[in-house]
A and B are shown apart, each in its own frame.
Chain A
Amino acid sequence: MLASVFIVMGSLILIVGVIVFNGAPSLSLQILTQTSEGGFYLGAGGGFLNAIVGSLLLALPATGLAFIIGIAIALYLQKDFLNPSIANFIRICLDILWGVPSVVYGVFCLTIMIAIGMTGGSVLFGIIALTLLEIPIITRSIDESIKMVPAGLKETAYSLGSTKVETAMKVVRRQAMPGIIAGVLLGFGRGIGDAASILLTVGDSNYFPTSLSDQTAALPTMILNLVSMPDQVVQNKAYAVAFVLLMIVLLISIITRYLTKKSSKHIIK
């Protein structure tokens, strides 16, 4: 038993260690603050700021959209609004969507892009793919935390003359706040790190995207591009990008901890 713990911890520490030790040295101010125009892939200077910006431009709107959609659905799944058996059916659908590999969302968007004659990729479809990917994650996380809201609390809100929507938006939402924050950040983390869905939808670019129909670079796809280069020096830059991605994931988890703690001071047990 102890051996298996060692295997697990060892392999996971190995992963983190490899990225940190290979990535941190290649990191420099220049690589973080310049775009990859002018031969970043060829061993010349430049950096991957455009990929950082691109990733944020994809993941932030996607998370925002998925959050709005997710919270609406999660609140509506309560038995105040929806018959519990229908709600459970929707939960199963969402669980299936959660399990669907992200590449399927990529193919879905690619199919639509081919159908409307769009080639090469665009920010818009990247956002759509990530939104689809994040909706089930965010919705089900919020849903689980709403399920924990005590029935007595809702009764209290109704007793004060609240309507259903007021109860949902003002009371249930506040009580479920830590879960909502955790769910949204979980979704954001999945979105910003996912390569398969955006690989098929956003294309690539060495510049900052300026419109929704532009192609864009993103952190995960840039890693793939870098490791496929023949030059060893260029390949090593992939670790710097991966390091940044890892730091973002770490940051998300720290922020989650901080915010859930902060937002749970009002929670009624």
Chain B
Amino acid sequence: MENPKTIQIETKALNVAIHNNQVLKNIDIQIPAKQLTAIIGPSGCGKTTLLKSFNRLLEIQDGIKIEGEIVVDGINIMSSGLNVPDIRKKMGLISQKPYPLPMSIFENVAYGLRIHHDKNQKELAEAVQNCLQEVGLWSEVKDRLHDPASRLSVGQQQRLCLARAIAVQPEVILCDEPTSALDPIAAQQIEKLLLKLKKDFTVILVTHTLRQAKRVADHVIFLYFGKVVEQGTAAEFFNNPKNPETKAYLAGEIS
């Protein structure tokens, strides 16, 4: 074993039901800080649901029942009385399909800064530039910062979403299949970015391409029909899977 890692997120007996359909069953996982954790599993196994429960985004839908604990930095975020927007600020979410906000490129990145931090125009402009540079978008958009964000290509939009997410200075970045809508080159860009970002953030990546998980993950969680089948370091998971279902999945027998 490597040196012990600090645990950023830990769930305890997490159960989620959507319209009386038990989607997540007794999830107990630990997600190490400042690492890239991949959540893999076949379609419909509850990956998105798990990710959305981390920033309490599930509860804006109706018919949701959540039980159990999600402990982030020692605090159970499911306990009542917490300020939900603050929790969400700590956990940036990148969705499968990029959704720029209906405003200019600049305003997209500045949005989170404006609502969370009191910055003057100059600081704002600097922060926006930093974030765009961080995701490698600055050189592409610096001459059209005030154009509508909707005019960017899908790959650019996804990077803009990343820039917008890191602008609010989250601790965790949750990515829900961020590359599935992109072409291979744009996807590669995102992958590289995520690898870079894990120095400063805890990154959780939902993916259903095994190869992507192999390429980038430090830690892997395998979800199957709403249950955690196996979790561990990437090396162990891919080279020495313990569970027969994991073996079957890695061999491509179930999907």
Q: Which residues of A contact B (CB under 8 A)?
A: 79-80, 84, 150, 152-163, 166, 170-171, 174-175, 177, 265-269
Contact = CB atoms under 8 A, between A and B. Distances in A.
A161 B100 contact: no
A126 B21 CA distance: 55
B155 interface: no
Given A265-B148, A267-B150, A268-B100, A160 B111 contact: yes
A153 B101 CA distance: 7
B99 A150 contact: yes
B99 A160 contact: no
B102 A161 contact: no
A166 B104 CA distance: 17
| Nearest 4 CB-CB pairings of A with B | A161-B89, A159-B93, A156-B99, A174-B102
A60 to B, nearest CB: 28
B85 A156 contact: no
Contact of B101 (A161, A174, A177): A174
A67 to B, nearest CB: 19
18 contacts: A150-B99, A155-B99, A156-B99, A158-B88, A159-B88, A160-B165, A160-B168, A161-B116, A161-B168, A162-B85, A171-B102, A265-B150, A266-B103, A267-B102, A268-B99, A268-B101, A268-B150, A269-B150
A166 B115 contact: yes
B86 interface: yes
A75 to B, nearest CB: 15
Interface string B199-212: 00000000000000
A265 B60 CA distance: 28
Contacts of B99: 150, 152-153, 155-156, 268
Contact of B164 (A79, A160, A269): A160
A162 B161 CA distance: 15
B64 interface: no
B148 A159 contact: no
Given A160-B115, A160-B165, A162-B115, A175 B102 contact: yes
Nearest to A267: B102
A174 B103 contact: yes
Contacts of B101: 153, 156-157, 171, 174, 268
B97 interface: yes
Given A161-B116, A171-B102, A155 B60 contact: yes
B119 to A, nearest CB: 15
A160 B88 contact: yes
A208 B116 CA distance: 50
Contacts of A265: 148, 150
Contacts of B93: 155-156, 159
Given A152-B99, A155-B60, A161-B116, A170 B111 contact: yes
Given A80-B60, A171-B102, A268-B99, A161 B86 contact: yes
Nearest to B61: A151
B154 to A, nearest CB: 11
B82 interface: no
A165 B102 CA distance: 16
B178 interface: no
Interface string B72-95: 000000000000011011011101
A2 B104 CA distance: 47
Contacts of B111: 160, 170
B42 interface: no
B62 A152 contact: no
Contact of A159 (B55, B104, B115): B55
Nearest to B147: A265
A156 B95 contact: yes
A135 to B, nearest CB: 26
Central interface residue in B115, B116, B168, by most chain A CB within 10 Å: B115
A157 B84 CA distance: 13
B92 A159 contact: yes
A172 to B, nearest CB: 9
A170 to B, nearest CB: 7
Contacts of B195: none
A268 B102 contact: yes
A177 B104 CA distance: 15
A76 to B, nearest CB: 15
Given A161-B168, A267-B102, 4 more contacts: A156-B99, A161-B85, A266-B150, A268-B102
Nearest to B62: A79
